[in-house]
């Protein structure tokens, strides 16, 4: 299957700048070569720009750069839906507000092909704020609420298809704000926090979710936030939270995702190369992507994922 690289230098989703350099850092770290070495044909669409709205939205002091983020959402929703029939889109962020568009577009694509979309959110944060509950005003904290159809997103494009919360699994949680926790408690999303990972390991909950996706004939979108990883191995992110996934846990997750054969699209988000240490975070994100695309230690035959 072709790989379609979509540069999304979104930097409007939070105040600290630098994620606009993310797509190029991922390219410099060898993303194309890694995919080609695994036998994939790679098409790079270059770096996109946000749609400009006919008029800027009324300034909202509670929300940082709303107009630009709405423009990005329009652009990415459209490009995702157009690219997905041609291969596997990889969205090169850019901050996590790019997922308002990438996931909404993939949900539309999944509807186009008659499969349900599932979303795996690998992140320290739940990103389940709405424009009404956020206290930071940073829209990178809102994409899961938007794509699952929560209220308060009137300024954003209407969704061709929403993702039911029961189709969402978040792994790596360790920073969830009170309004997010309250809203998530009302949903049937699968929530895997660091305590559960410490007690039971990361494989069980992931396998359980993949079995559910497979049983539903679903298409899986993976959204990988740099801060899913422990800051000791991935320093290049503005929102570090201690106690994240280890190198081995993260590779294992992406290897299991490869073996599942269910993944149709990927976001690589929140990489801020300005904060990196000799490119190590960008290189790790590329290596994790390679694991998702089938890089392995021994060339064992894969077995399709089966429940149990
Ligand atoms: N919950 C916090 C907020 O709303 C942090 C969100 C961090 N999100 C992210 N994509 N890094 O500001
Ligand atoms: Mn800004
Ligand atoms: Mn995030
Ligand atoms: Mn995060």
How many A from CA of 303 to the centre of ligand 2? Answer: 45
**Catalytic annotation, pick one of 225, 230, 249, 276:** 225
Of ligand 1's atoms, which has the minimum distance to the CA of residue 237?
Answer: 11
Q: Whose CA is nearest to atom 8 of ligand 1?
A: 141
Q: Note if 198 is an active site residue.
A: no
**Catalytic annotation, pick one of 64, 140, 221, 258:** 140
* Backbone φ, ψ for residue 113 (5° rounding): -100, 5
Phi-psi region of 143 (alpha: psi -120 to 50; beta: other; left: phi over 0): alpha
Q: What is the mean pLDDT of residues 244-251?
A: 98
pLDDT for res 276: 98
pLDDT for res 307: 56
CB atoms within 10 A of CB 81: 22
pLDDT in tens, 149-192: 999 999 999 999 999 999 999 999 999 999 999 999 999 999 99
Confidence of residue 304 (pLDDT cuts 50, 70, 90): low
pLDDT in tens, 58-96: 878 899 999 999 999 999 999 999 999 999 999 999 999
pLDDT for res 299: 76
The CA-atom distances, in angstroms, between 223 and each of 96, 152, 263, 278 are: 9, 22, 11, 24
Q: Note if 125 is an active site residue.
A: yes
Q: Where are the alpha helices (DSSP H) in the chain?
A: 22-28, 31-37, 66-83, 98-113, 143-147, 178-185, 194-200, 203-215, 247-260, 280-292
Q: Note if 123 is an active site residue.
A: yes
pLDDT in tens, 205-238: 999 999 999 999 999 999 999 999 999 999 999 9
pLDDT for res 59: 79
Task: State the pairing for strand pair 190-193/168-173.
Answer: parallel
Residues with CB under 6 A from ligand 1: 96, 125, 127, 129, 134, 136, 138, 140-141, 177, 225, 227, 239, 270
Average pLDDT, the chain: 96
Helix and strand tally (H, E) in the chain? Answer: 10, 8
% residues pLDDT > 90 (the chain)? 93
Distance separating alpha carbons of residues 269 and 143, to the nearest angstrom: 12
pLDDT for res 301: 60
3-state secondary structure of 222: strand
pLDDT in tens, 115-133: 999 999 999 999 999 999 9
Of ligand 1's atoms, which has the minimum distance to the CA of residue 96?
Answer: 10
pLDDT for res 302: 60
Q: Note if 225 is an active site residue.
A: yes
pLDDT surpassing 90 at residue 306: no
Looking at per-residue pLDDT, the higher value among 137 and 297 belongs to 137
Closest ligand to C-alpha of residue 66 is: 2
Q: Does residue 177 contact residue 129 with C-beta atoms inside 8 Å?
A: yes
pLDDT for res 58: 86
How many A from CA of 51 to the centre of ligand 1? Answer: 24
Q: Note if 258 is an active site residue.
A: no
Looking at per-residue pLDDT, the higher value among 308 and 38 belongs to 38
Q: Whose CA is nearest to atom 4 of ligand 1?
A: 141
Q: Note if 221 is an active site residue.
A: no
- The tokens of 113 are what? 């092909």
CA nearest to 100, candidates 126, 120, 118, 74 = 74
Closest ligand to C-alpha of residue 95 is: 1
């Amino acid at each position: 299957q072709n790989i379609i690289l979509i540069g999304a230098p979104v930097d409007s989703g939070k105040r600290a700048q630098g994620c606009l350099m993310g797509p190029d850092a991922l390219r410099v770290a060898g993303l194309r070569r890694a995919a080609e070495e695994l036998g994939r044909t790679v098409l790079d669409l270059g770096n996109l720009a946000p749609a400009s709205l006919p008029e800027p939205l009324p300034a909202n002091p509670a929300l940082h750069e709303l107009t630009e983020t709405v423009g990005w959402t329009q652009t990415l929703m459209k490009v995702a839906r157009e690219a997905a029939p041609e291969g596997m889109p990889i969205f090169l962020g850019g901050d996590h507000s790019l997922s308002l568009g990438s996931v909404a577009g993939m949900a539309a694509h999944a509807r186009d092909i008659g499969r349900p979309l599932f979303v795996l959110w690998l992140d320290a944060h739940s990103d389940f704020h709405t424009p009404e509950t956020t206290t930071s005003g940073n829209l990178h904290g809102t994409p899961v609420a938007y794509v699952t159809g929560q209220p308060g997103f009137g300024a954003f494009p209407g969704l061709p298809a929403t993702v039911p919360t029961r189709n969402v699994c978040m792994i790596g949680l360790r920073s969830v704000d009170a309004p997010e926790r309250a809203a998530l408690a009302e949903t049937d999303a699968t929530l895997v926090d660091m305590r559960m990972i410490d007690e039971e390991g990361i494989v069980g909950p992931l396998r359980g979710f993949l079995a559910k996706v497979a049983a539903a004939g679903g298409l899986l979108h993976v959204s990988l936030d740099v801060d899913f990883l422990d800051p000791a191995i991935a320093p290049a992110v503005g929102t570090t939270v201690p106690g994240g996934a280890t190198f081995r846990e993260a590779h294992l997750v992406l290897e299991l995702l490869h073996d599942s054969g269910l993944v149709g699209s990927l976001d690589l988000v929140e990489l801020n190369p300005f904060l990196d240490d000799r490119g190590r975070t960008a290189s790790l994100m590329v290596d994790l992507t390679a694991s998702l695309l089938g890089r392995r230690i021994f060339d064992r035959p894969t077995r399709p994922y089966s429940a149990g």
